[in-house]
Amino acid sequence: MSPESPKAPLVSMRGVVRKYRKGGEDLVVLHGLDLDIEKGEFLALMGPSGSGKSTILNLLGGLDRADEGTILVDGVDISSMSPDDLAGWRSRHVGFVFQAFNLIPVLTALENVELPLLLTPLSRRQRREQAEFALDIVGLKDRMDHRPKQLSGGQEQRVAIARAMATDPTMILADEPTGDLDRHSADAVLDILSRLVSENGKTIAMVTHDPAAAARASRQLHLEKGVLVHDTPGAGVART
């Protein structure tokens, strides 16, 4: 019997370079980055401002393009996709969570979570059921008719997480998800993210400046000036 081939990582970034034009000069943000992310990892990206953390999230989510290198997600080369194909891929495979929540004030929690489902072929009833299920996972099904101004900051971020996972994405990308929250609310949000990994098998990449948040991840990456300087296991949960 031949040995099994090693399983490919969910994400494979090879030789990724990203630079921006600033003041008539090229500012290099990522210098030939090589990075693999396994399915079911909870990854924390850390480093000073300008180190390339958010750029990595934007590249993984198809919001930005590399100047050089390749990015494979679940075997698909997203670095060579057309803008239209990339938008369709992103709507199916990526859920975003931002520091500022980005909820629409005039919509209820349920309607905010339903938004990404409008791009799917689901019926109205199916969209509602899936949105309710996502809110139930984050413990807010009893607040589904509340608008953002009727919720606390921690509850708003939990709605944002429910919206990110409503389409059952391949991975969730979180940019400073606890940055505007007090410690208690931040810990509640991190509990949910950890459960999405350990119980639902989700893959999460999170940018954070908070050591307490990074400690909840199963792996920590430290970047400086676009270069990966440390890649260490974290104390957080991994998928069981």
CATH number at residue 120: 3.40.50.300
For the chain, how many structural domains are there in total? 1
Residue 2 CB contacts under 8 Å (≥ 6 apart), including other chains: none
CB 185: neighbour CB atoms within 10 A? 18
The pTM (predicted TM-score) of the whole model is: 0.89
Cβ–Cβ under 8 Å, residues 145 and 108:
yes
The answer as to whether 16 is a domain residue is no
Task: Give the integer Cα–Cα distance in Å for 122 and 146.
Answer: 24
Q: Give the closest residue to 40 by CA, choosing from 220, 204, 213.
A: 204
The answer as to whether 169 is a domain residue is yes
Give me the pLDDT at residue 239, please.
Answer: 44
Residue 123 CB contacts under 8 Å (≥ 6 apart), including other chains: none
Phi-psi region of 74 (alpha: psi -120 to 50; beta: other; left: phi over 0): left
Mean pLDDT of the region 206-225: 94
The answer as to whether 47 is a domain residue is yes
Q: In 3-state terms, the chain is what percent helix, strand and coil (to 5)?
A: 35, 30, 35
CA 13 to chain centre: 16
pLDDT tens, position by position, 25-71: 888 999 999 999 999 999 999 999 889 999 999 999 999 999 999 99
Cβ–Cβ under 8 Å, residues 209 and 220:
no
The answer as to whether 11 is a domain residue is no
> Is the Cα torsion angle 237, 95, 227, 209 positive or negative in sign?
negative
The answer as to whether 127 is a domain residue is yes
pLDDT tens, position by position, 87-129: 889 988 999 998 888 999 999 999 999 999 988 888 999 999 9
Cβ–Cβ under 8 Å, residues 215 and 135:
no
The answer as to whether 32 is a domain residue is no
The answer as to whether 57 is a domain residue is yes
Give me the pLDDT at residue 20, please.
Answer: 86
The answer as to whether 95 is a domain residue is yes
Q: Give the closest residue to 108 by CA, choosing from 81, 147, 76.
A: 147
Q: Whole domain around residue 87: which residue ranges?
A: 40-65+81-233
pLDDT tens, position by position, 140-186: 999 999 999 999 999 999 999 999 999 999 999 999 999 889 999 99
Cβ–Cβ under 8 Å, residues 96 and 209:
no
